[in-house]
Structure 1
Amino acid sequence: MKKALSIFMMLILMIGALAACGPKEEENTGSEGNGEKTEDASKPEKLVVWEDKDKSGWLEKVAADFEKEHGVKIEFKEVEMATKMKEQLRLDGPAGTGPDIITLPHDQIGELAVQGHIAELNVSDDVKSTFSESSINAQSFDGKLYGLPKSAETPVFIYNKALMTEVPATMEDLYEFAKANTKDGKYGFLALWDNFYFAHAPIGGNGGYVFGEKDGALNPQDLGLNNEGAVKGTEYIQKWYAEKLFPNGIIGENGGSAMDGLFNEGNVASVMNGPWAFGGMKDAGIDFGVAPFPKFADGTPMKTFMGVKGWHVSSYSKNQEWAVKFLEYITNDENAKYRFEQTSEVPTNVALVDDPAIAENEGAKAVALQTQDAVPMPNIPEMGEVWAPMASALQTVVTGKAQPQEALDSAVKQIEQNIQQNHAK
Structure 2
Amino acid sequence: MKKFFSIFLSIMILAVFSLGCSLDGDQKQIVSETKPKKLVVWDEIGKTAGIEPALNRFEQQYGIKVEVKEVDITKMLELLYQEGLAGNAADVITMPHTQLGQAVTRGLVMPIKVDKALVSQFNESAINALTYKGVLFGLPRSIETPIFIYNKKLMAQAPITFDELYTFSKEFTKYGYYGFLAPWDNYYFAHGIISGFGGYVFGEKEGIPSPKDLGLNNQGAVQGLEYIQKWYAEGLFPKEIIGESGTQTMDGLFTAGKVAAVMNDPRAIQTYKNATIDIGIAPMPSLPNGKPVKTFLNVKGWFVTPYSKNQGWATKLIEWLTNPENAKIHFEKTGEIPPLKQLISDPMIVNNEEAKAILLQSQNADPIPNLPEMAEVWNPMTKALQLTVTNRLEPQKALDEAVNAIIQRIQANQGK
Report the TM-score when normalising by structure 2: 0.91
One-letter identity of the residue aligned with 2:320 = Y
Matched residue, 2:3:
none
Which one has a bigger Cα radius of gyration? Answer: 1
Matched residue, 2:351:
360
State the identity %: 54
CA shift, 1:324, in A, is 0.3
1:206 correspondence with 2:197:
yes
Question: For this pair of structures, how many residues does the alignment match?
Answer: 388
Equivalent runs, 1:208-287 vs 2, <5 Å: 208-287=199-278
* TM-align CA RMSD: 1.3
Equivalent runs, 1:24-423 vs 2, <5 Å: 42-81=34-73, 83-423=74-414
Cα contact 1:50–1:101 (8 A) shared by 2: yes
Query: How far apart, in 2, do the equivalents of 1:187 and 1:268 lie?
Result: 5
Cα contact 1:208–1:224 (8 A) shared by 2: yes
Cα contact 2:99–2:370 (8 A) shared by 1: yes
Matched residue, 2:14:
none
Runs of 4+ in 1 over 6 A off after TM superposition: none
One-letter identity of the residue aligned with 2:410 = I
CA shift, 1:262, in A, is 1.1
Structure 1: 5+ residue stretches without partners: 1-36
Cα contact 1:110–1:381 (8 A) shared by 2: yes
Cα contact 1:170–1:296 (8 A) shared by 2: yes
One-letter identity of the residue aligned with 1:64 = N
One-letter identity of the residue aligned with 1:117 = L
Structure 2: 5+ residue stretches without partners: 1-28
One-letter identity of the residue aligned with 1:335 = N
Query: How far apart, in 2, do the equivalents of 1:281 and 1:46 lie?
Result: 44
Query: How far apart, in 2, do the equivalents of 1:97 and 1:123 lie?
Result: 26
Query: How far apart, in 1, do the equivalents of 2:288 and 2:227 lie?
Result: 13
One-letter identity of the residue aligned with 1:108 = Q
Q: Deviations over 1:17-71 (max 9, x none)?
A: xxxxxxxxxxxxxxxxxxxx98656211111111112111122221111100001
One-letter identity of the residue aligned with 1:120 = P
CA shift, 1:248, in A, is 1.6
Cα contact 2:31–2:313 (8 A) shared by 1: no
Query: How far apart, in 2, do the equivalents of 1:125 and 1:322 lie?
Result: 18
One-letter identity of the residue aligned with 1:46 = K
One-letter identity of the residue aligned with 1:59 = I
Cα gap change, 1:164/1:228 in structure 2, threshold over 3 Å: closer, same or farther?
same
Which range moved further: 328-337 or 83-92? 83-92
Q: Deviations over 1:400-420 (max 9, x none)?
A: 111111110000001011112
SS of the counterpart of 1:57? helix
Cα contact 2:197–2:289 (8 A) shared by 1: no
Query: How far apart, in 2, do the equivalents of 1:311 and 1:335 lie?
Result: 13
Query: How far apart, in 1, do the equivalents of 2:101 and 2:363 lie?
Result: 23
Query: How far apart, in 2, do the equivalents of 1:398 and 1:49 lie?
Result: 46
SS of the counterpart of 2:375? helix
CA shift, 1:423, in A, is 2.2
Report the TM-score when normalising by structure 1: 0.89
Query: How far apart, in 1, do the equivalents of 2:180 and 2:47 lie?
Result: 33
Query: How far apart, in 2, do the equivalents of 1:102 and 1:151 lie?
Result: 14
Query: How far apart, in 1, do the equivalents of 2:196 and 2:32 lie?
Result: 49
One-letter identity of the residue aligned with 2:44 = D
Query: How far apart, in 1, do the equivalents of 2:115 and 2:335 lie?
Result: 28
CA shift, 1:253, in A, is 1.2
Cα gap change, 1:179/1:46 in structure 2, threshold over 3 Å: closer, same or farther?
same
One-letter identity of the residue aligned with 2:109 = I
One-letter identity of the residue aligned with 1:58 = G
